Amino acid sequence: MQEIFQQLETLFIGAVPTMLVFVVLVAAYQFLIQGPLTATLRERRARTEGAQENAQKAIAQAEARAGQYAESLRQARAEIFKLRETRIKQWTAERDAVLDAARKAAGVKVSQAKAELQAEAESARTSLQASAGDLASQVMRAVLPAAAGGSL
């Protein structure tokens, strides 16, 4: 048994430098590779998450602006529609006023024409009545001399 302990002791003594080299390599790995790599990954993750948050904020702002633009567009369309309706009403009122004036002017002209026609008809009647007696005398002279000349 003693022999076994001696063999184990020589193995442990021979393994000490290997263990020291292993510990130094692990420490060097942690200090030189693992630490900077972890810091880089942490920074990358932070930047990625920050970029994602910034992108989400930008998307939210863009959606808000799009909503504002849509609302502005709706308001502008409503205003244009109101202006259009106002102009149409104005044009309709102007057209109606012009039509009323034309109707009144036409009515006045028709009344004047009727009055002129009645005056002409009255003067024609008067002249016919005045000339009716003359015509009757002329017809009588034309008929009576011919009748008087035939019976003589």
Residue with tokens 């702002």: 61
CB burial string 89-108: b at 16+ within 10 A, e below: eeeeeeeeeeeeeeeeeeee
Instruction: Check residue 63 and give its pLDDT.
Output: 95
Would you give the distance in Å from CA 12 to the centre of its chain?
Answer: 90
pLDDT tens digits for range 17-71? 989 999 999 999 999 999 999 999 999 988 898 889 999 999 999 999 999 999 9
- Band of pLDDT at residue 146, cut at 50, 70 and 90: low
Please list, in sequence order, all residues whose beta carbon lies within 8 angstroms of the beta carbon of residue 26, skipping any fewer than 6 positions away: none
Q: How many CA atoms lie within 13 A of 129 on its CB side?
A: 5
Higher per-residue confidence, 16 vs 143: 16
The rounded mean pLDDT for the chain is 89
**pLDDT surpasses 80 at 152:** no
CA 27, CA 19: separation in Å to the nearest integer?
12
C-alpha 93/C-alpha 105 separation (Å) is 18
- Cα–Cα distance measured from residue 5 to residue 13, given in angstroms and rounded to the nearest whole number: 12
Domain ranges of the chain: 1-109
Predicted confidence (pLDDT) at residue 147 exceeds the cutoff of 80: no
Q: State pLDDT tens for residues 18-31.
A: 899 999 999 999 99
pTM beyond cutoff 0.75: no
